[in-house]
């Protein structure tokens, strides 16, 4: 199968999640990603367990599930970048790479001669992507940035969680590291755009990605609501600030999501529940009126929904074309017939675990599918291969580098 990025090689100096998420996307699209890791330790997330992948006997391997989630399709090369020999190796590798990806603190790589200016001097068409908490400039540039911190600073936690006037009210972080993941996604887009520009003009460039910038951007309609009203949005729990009803309801045996996007869907919803009077009530006839009269309407809808079981509601509403669905735990997600039909869970051969279970890349393209046959690598698994293939080092030279702790 042809690969969309089969002609691209990435030198990945990043670790943890935002950077590796970007490089995993590039690897799934066919890029040759060389993951640079510290000898003896590697990416921090290798130790972020349990859980760990298990071998054929059911025993834990050294491969943390967290690490496995973001490092599919890469080759691992261990290099001591604090050593002058290690730095020289990386500069030599850059000559064979199209992209450098890093998430060190601002200015940290300059002392090693691995910053953009230094590498641009030897590879002018290089695409160099830096991911930091706060960007390369500004008063916070030298601060460390972490997803949880940025979710709070960037406003996400101010609109996530139950309403302050209800039980359990208060700020909540998202259940997955959304800011890291979205920064990785934006970085992927930026790298692809920069490569397209390079291919047209021969010019490389520096990409400055910041978690805080990403979090502010991904406020989306919530940010726009504030900029156009001057009023900071508040938490709505599982409800929606601009649409009613668009929330969870307790059924007779569980919970249901109802997401009516227009007046017709609302009317079908209440008619299915045996309350056509709520469709004709002038207080609830349009979405703006329902938003205005939310406190009157929602208790009436809640009483209506409690009278039927979840699956009964789903069958009724799907028949009428009203968007609805269950709230699945992760086990139920992977047992779902649609998730299974789309083959979102995959098994890849692994050197120590035999097989590892991973989540498939959701990008589907007819000519150049985003797939990977390579499991996340063991620490330093490809050191000899990469040094021999890319730099022409002999077995004796590689052994000497190992002896000195350079790789």
pLDDT by residue for the chain (407 residues), tens digit each? 789 999 999 999 999 999 999 999 999 999 999 999 999 999 999 999 999 999 988 999 989 999 999 999 999 999 999 999 999 999 999 999 999 999 999 999 999 999 999 999 999 999 999 999 999 999 999 999 999 999 999 999 999 998 888 888 899 999 999 999 999 999 999 999 999 999 999 999 999 999 999 999 999 999 999 999 999 998 989 999 889 999 999 999 989 999 999 999 999 999 999 999 999 999 999 999 999 999 999 999 999 999 999 999 999 999 999 999 999 999 999 999 999 999 999 999 999 999 999 999 999 999 999 987 899 999 999 999 999 999 999 999 999 999 999 99
- Using CA atoms, how far apart are residues 173 and 152, in angstroms rounded to an integer? 8
DSSP at 307: T
**What are the angstrom distances between the C-alpha of 67 and each of 34, 75, 308?**
16, 14, 43
In this prediction, residue 141 carries a pLDDT of 96
- Claim to verify: residue 184 and residue 72 sit in the same structural domain: yes
- Claim to verify: residue 183 and residue 287 sit in the same structural domain: no
In this prediction, residue 167 carries a pLDDT of 87
- Using CA atoms, how far apart are residues 191 and 6, in angstroms rounded to an integer? 15
Residue 76: strand, helix, or coil: strand
In this prediction, residue 376 carries a pLDDT of 96
Q: What angle do CA 306, 307, 308 make, to 5 degrees?
A: 95
In this prediction, residue 166 carries a pLDDT of 85
Q: State pTM to two decimals.
A: 0.92
In this prediction, residue 209 carries a pLDDT of 98
Residue 334 inside a domain? The answer is: no
Is there a contact between 128 and 191 (Cβ–Cβ < 8 Å)?
no
Residue 391 inside a domain? The answer is: yes
Strand-strand pairing, 354-359 and 246-250:
unpaired
- Claim to verify: residue 13 and residue 80 sit in the same structural domain: yes
- Claim to verify: residue 322 and residue 360 sit in the same structural domain: no
- Claim to verify: residue 211 and residue 73 sit in the same structural domain: yes
Angle between helices 383-391 and 395-403 (to 10 degrees): 130
Residue 230 inside a domain? The answer is: no
Is there a contact between 256 and 313 (Cβ–Cβ < 8 Å)?
yes
Identified catalytic residue from 32, 180, 208, 213: 180
In this prediction, residue 371 carries a pLDDT of 83
The radius of gyration of the chain from alpha carbons, rounded to an integer in Å, stands at 25
- Using CA atoms, how far apart are residues 301 and 185, in angstroms rounded to an integer? 38
Residue 175 inside a domain? The answer is: yes
- Claim to verify: residue 185 and residue 302 sit in the same structural domain: no
Q: Which residue has the tokens 């350079």?
A: 406
**What are the angstrom distances between the C-alpha of 237 and each of 259, 293, 333?**
14, 17, 22
- Claim to verify: residue 205 and residue 304 sit in the same structural domain: no
- Claim to verify: residue 209 and residue 355 sit in the same structural domain: yes
Strand-strand pairing, 127-132 and 205-210:
parallel
Residue 1 inside a domain? The answer is: no
CB neighbour list of residue 153: distance below 8 Å, 6 or more residues apart: 212, 215
- Claim to verify: residue 52 and residue 169 sit in the same structural domain: yes
- Using CA atoms, how far apart are residues 184 and 70, in angstroms rounded to an integer? 10
Structurally, the chain folds into a number of domains equal to 2
- Using CA atoms, how far apart are residues 2 and 14, in angstroms rounded to an integer? 27
**What are the angstrom distances between the C-alpha of 258 and each of 30, 64, 240, 265, 275?**
39, 37, 11, 10, 16
Residue-wise pLDDT tens digits, 318-341? 999 999 999 999 999 999 999 999
Is residue 329 flagged as an active site residue?
no
Q: Which helix (H) or strand (E) holds 355?
A: strand 354-359
In this prediction, residue 241 carries a pLDDT of 84
- Using CA atoms, how far apart are residues 32 and 74, in angstroms rounded to an integer? 7
Q: Which domain holds residue 349?
A: 9-218+343-404
In this prediction, residue 89 carries a pLDDT of 97
Please classify residue 377 by burial: count the beta carbons closer than 10 Å to its beta carbon, then call 0-12 exposed, 13-18 middle and 19+ buried. buried
Residue 58 inside a domain? The answer is: yes
Residue 13 inside a domain? The answer is: yes
Here the CATH number for the domain that contains residue 189 is 3.40.50.10540
Residue 319 inside a domain? The answer is: yes
Here the CATH number for the domain that contains residue 310 is 3.30.1540.10
- Claim to verify: residue 300 and residue 347 sit in the same structural domain: no
- Using CA atoms, how far apart are residues 97 and 9, in angstroms rounded to an integer? 5
In this prediction, residue 56 carries a pLDDT of 87
- Claim to verify: residue 303 and residue 171 sit in the same structural domain: no
- Using CA atoms, how far apart are residues 329 and 343, in angstroms rounded to an integer? 18
In this prediction, residue 373 carries a pLDDT of 80
């Amino acid at each position: 199968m042809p690969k969309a990025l089969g002609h691209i090689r990435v030198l990945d100096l990043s670790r943890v999640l935002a950077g590796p998420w970007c490089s995993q996307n590039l690897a799934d699209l066919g890029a040759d990603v060389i993951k640079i890791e510290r000898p003896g330790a590697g990416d921090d997330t290798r130790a972020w367990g349990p859980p760990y992948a298990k071998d054929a006997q059911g025993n834990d391997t050294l491969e943390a599930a967290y690490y496995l989630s973001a490092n599919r399709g890469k080759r691992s090369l261990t290099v001591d970048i604090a050593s002058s020999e290690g730095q020289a190796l990386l500069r030599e590798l850059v000559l064979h790479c199209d992209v450098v990806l890093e998430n060190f603190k601002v200015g940290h790589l300059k002392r090693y001669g691995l910053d953009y200016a230094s590498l641009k001097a030897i590879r002018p068409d290089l695409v160099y992507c830096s991911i930091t908490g706060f960007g390369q400039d500004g008063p916070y540039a030298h601060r460390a940035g972490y997803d949880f911190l940025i979710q709070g600073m960037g406003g996400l936690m101010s609109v996530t969680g139950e309403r302050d006037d209800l039980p359990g009210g208060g700020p909540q972080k998202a259940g997955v590291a959304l800011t890291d993941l979205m920064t990785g996604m934006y970085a992927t887009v930026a790298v692809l755009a920069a490569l397209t520009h390079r291919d047209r003009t021969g010019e490389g460039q520096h990409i400055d990605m910041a978690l805080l910038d990403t979090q502010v951007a991904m406020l989306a309609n919530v940010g726009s609501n504030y900029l156009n009203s001057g009023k900071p949005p508040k938490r709505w729990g599982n409800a929606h600030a601009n649409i009613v009803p668009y929330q969870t309801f307790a059924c007779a045996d569980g919970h249901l999501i109802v997401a009516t996007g227009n007046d017709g869907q609302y009317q079908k919803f209440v008619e299915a529940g045996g309350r056509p009077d709520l469709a004709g009530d002038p207080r609830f006839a349009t979405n703006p009126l329902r938003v205005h009269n939310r406190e009157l309407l929602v208790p009436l809808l809640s009483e209506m929904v409690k009278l039927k079981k979840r699956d009964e509601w789903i069958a009724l509403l799907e028949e009428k074309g009203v968007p609805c669905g269950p709230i699945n735990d992760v086990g139920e997600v992977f047992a779902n017939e649609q998730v299974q039909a789309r083959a979102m869970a995959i098994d890849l051969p692994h050197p120590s675990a035999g097989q590892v279970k991973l989540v498939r890349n959701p990008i589907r393209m007819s000519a150049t599918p985003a797939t990977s046959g390579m499991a996340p690598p063991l620490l330093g698994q490809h050191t000899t291969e990469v040094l021999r293939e890319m730099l022409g080092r002999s077995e004796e030279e590689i052994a000497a580098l190992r002896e000195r702790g350079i790789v």
